[in-house]
Amino acid sequence: MEQAVEAINARYPCREDLVRKLYQLYGDGGQFPPALYLYGHTSTGKSSIVQALLHRLAGTKYAILNAIECYTNKILFESIVNELEGHVLSVENGYSSLVTCDCMKDFVGKLQELDATQNYIIVLENAERVRDMDHNVLPMLLRLPEVTGLNISVILVSDLPFAKYYIRTGLSPIVRLFVPEYSKKDILAIMLMDFETIREQLGEDIKSQASSPSNGTQLLSEDETAKRLKILSNLSSGFYENYLSIFLNVFFKVCRDLKELQLVSFECFQKYCEPVLDGSISPDDVTKLWRHISKTMKLSLSTIYMRMGHVSRQEQSRPAADQLCSESVEQLQTMRRMAQNLELPFYAKYLLIAAYLASHNAAKEDKRLFMKNHGKQKKRLQSVNAKARVSEKMATQLGPKSFTVDRLLAIFYAILDEKVGLTCNLLAQISTLIHLKFLIFASGEGSIMDGNGRLQCTVGMDFIMHIGKMVGFNVRQYLCDFF
């Protein structure tokens, strides 16, 4: 067990406690629990660790399915039996299923025909979708050992807590394991493991630029190529760790999704390494490197969930002199194109503006900003000194704060000229903004109407300014930093 735990933890660090608990439940080859509910935020390693565990269990057959794909009972039942029997749909068998399971009775009967000496595990990802199926599917999945007589267990993987399933009565007790979010230290350790892979990829990019440059990049000579590859090979993991520390200090407050951070990190690292590879900045000069990368990080921060990886490549393709003098112009043009091409409904644009104002204004300022008869405000020396702040301490530079849905709607109705009722369509547009990652949950992830969730706005100021221009709304007029 210890060797298996260490092997999995080496590949998926910072999850040793979870791996140990899973091995205690499934690793000894004894009686499995009837069901396990594994839940936590997205991109926390739930599915990857479960799959790594299953590959190491001897004498156990397993099936891994996604509830989104199994949108009917028939597809769900037949997919489970096919995977447990090792039947793969292919051209040779005409993509036909091994069995036909039209109802729960057929499904249970097919499971009872399996080899009773084997152990079985069924993994169902996005398990919250099962709530939308027939009322007997979820209760039966939690009682499969009882009705089949097999040593079989169902692992339900979801982002929601099990309390969201209480709408269904008669559910059997279930073992629950919560997977917490990665801390900044954990993400740093995980991303640091990618250093060799990233260095190899940068080396391939340098070689391709020497043979066939693309996007208008300058052709590298053989001497320049050899020089850059030598500098790249001499870069230590400490250099990459310093970069990750800078990167996470900027991005961790806005995004904690490991996959998104890895994607954006590589795009920014290419820009970060440019002056080091051409010899203009020493790898040890952190101050100059920060000044070089700060504008790129600011632009990436505004587009982190929009997969705008081409932004950094556009900057790389520009000549050095033009890039220095017109980098801010390129950023504004990019934001304008993104805002214009964003096909959001009219009210969704106002909701996004309201979310940005809620994220970058203190709640105590709402009355003064959005109410007509808010009374007079006395000018005190403390207030005057507080407004005389440097740029780094402005709310728009410090990052978004969390806010409640009630406050979002209050600001939305305050800035919208026309009267509109609180309809399902309006609430659906909030969900759409969350789905597009323009809004993210800071806490209480789940339904937006349960009153416990707090949101954050992820878009940048340049982007929201262009959204405001499209609907004729002056965003700066309602930001505390500018008056």
Q: Which residue has the higher pLDDT, 313 or 138?
A: 138
Both 430 and 361 in one domain: the answer is yes
Closest CA relative to residue 96, chosen from 111, 71, 78: 78
| Domain boundary residue, one of 160, 181, 202 | 181
Is the pLDDT score of 337 beyond 70? no
Q: Which residue has the higher pLDDT, 446 or 19?
A: 19
Note the pLDDT of residue 215: 52
Residue 176 belongs to a domain: yes
Kindly report, residue by residue over 122-148, the tens digit of the pLDDT. Answer: 999 999 888 888 888 998 999 999 999
Residue 84 belongs to a domain: yes
Share of the chain above pLDDT 70, in %: 82
- Mean pLDDT for 344-369 is 88
pLDDT band at 338 (very low <50, low <70, confident <90, very high): low
Is the pLDDT score of 20 beyond 60? yes
Both 190 and 175 in one domain: the answer is no
Note the pLDDT of residue 314: 41
Note the pLDDT of residue 308: 52
Both 129 and 38 in one domain: the answer is yes
What CATH number is associated with residue 112? 3.40.50.300
How many domains does the chain divide into?
3
- Mean pLDDT for 199-210 is 86
Q: Which of these ranges, 83-97, 245-259, 263-277, 362-376, has the smallest mean pLDDT?
A: 362-376
Both 163 and 83 in one domain: the answer is yes
Both 176 and 189 in one domain: the answer is no
- Mean pLDDT for 301-327 is 50
Q: Which residue has the higher pLDDT, 164 or 111?
A: 111
Share of the chain above pLDDT 90, in %: 32
| Domain boundary residue, one of 181, 213, 234 | 181
Residue 75 belongs to a domain: yes
Is the pLDDT score of 272 beyond 60? yes
Note the pLDDT of residue 78: 92
Both 304 and 408 in one domain: the answer is no
Note the pLDDT of residue 451: 63
Residue 280 belongs to a domain: yes
Both 263 and 219 in one domain: the answer is yes
Is the pLDDT score of 331 beyond 70? no
Report the chain's mean pLDDT, rounded to a whole number: 82
Note the pLDDT of residue 445: 67
Both 11 and 121 in one domain: the answer is yes
Kindly report, residue by residue over 365-412, the tens digit of the pLDDT. Answer: 888 888 765 555 544 444 445 544 444 455 556 678 889 888 999 899
Both 306 and 376 in one domain: the answer is no
The range of the structural domain enclosing residue 447 comes to 346-382+396-482
Residue 281 belongs to a domain: yes
Both 212 and 77 in one domain: the answer is no
Both 193 and 205 in one domain: the answer is yes
pLDDT band at 157 (very low <50, low <70, confident <90, very high): very high
Note the pLDDT of residue 110: 92
Is the pLDDT score of 107 beyond 60? yes
Residue 323 belongs to a domain: yes
Both 175 and 200 in one domain: the answer is no
Q: Which residue has the higher pLDDT, 331 or 478?
A: 478
Kindly report, residue by residue over 173-192, the tens digit of the pLDDT. Answer: 889 999 998 999 999 999 99
Q: Which residue has the higher pLDDT, 451 or 316?
A: 451
Note the pLDDT of residue 446: 62
Note the pLDDT of residue 131: 85
Residue 390 belongs to a domain: no
Is the pLDDT score of 38 beyond 70? yes
Note the pLDDT of residue 381: 44
Residue 388 belongs to a domain: no
Q: Which of these ranges, 26-35, 57-66, 133-142, 421-430, has the smallest mean pLDDT?
A: 421-430
- Mean pLDDT for 2-9 is 80
pLDDT band at 240 (very low <50, low <70, confident <90, very high): very high
| Domain boundary residue, one of 136, 154, 181 | 181
Q: State the SS3 of the chain.
A: CHHHHHHHHHHCCCCHHHHHHHHHHHCCCCCCCCEEEEEECCCCCHHHHHHHHHHCCCCEEEEEEECCCCCCHHHHHHHHHHHHHCCCCCCCCCCCCCCCCCCHHHHHHHHHCCCCCCEEEEEEECHHHHHHCCCCHHHHHCCHHHHHCCEEEEEEEECCCHHHHCCCCCCCCCEEEEECCCCHHHHHHHHHCCHHHHHHHHHHHHHHHHHCCCCCCCCCCHHHHHHHHHHHHHCCHHHHHHHHHHHHHHHCCCCCCHHHHHHHHHHHHHHHHHHHHCCCCCCCCHHHHHHHHHHHHHHHHHCCCCCCCHHHHHHHHCCHHHHHHHHHHHHHHHHHHHHHHCCCCHHHHHHHHHHHHHHHCCHHHHHHHHCCCCCCCCCCHHHHHHHCCCHHHCHHHHCCCCEEHHHHHHHHHHHCCCCCCCCHHHHHHHHHHHHCCCEEEEECCCCCCCCCCEEEECCCHHHHHHHHHHHCCCCHHHCHHHC
pLDDT band at 483 (very low <50, low <70, confident <90, very high): low
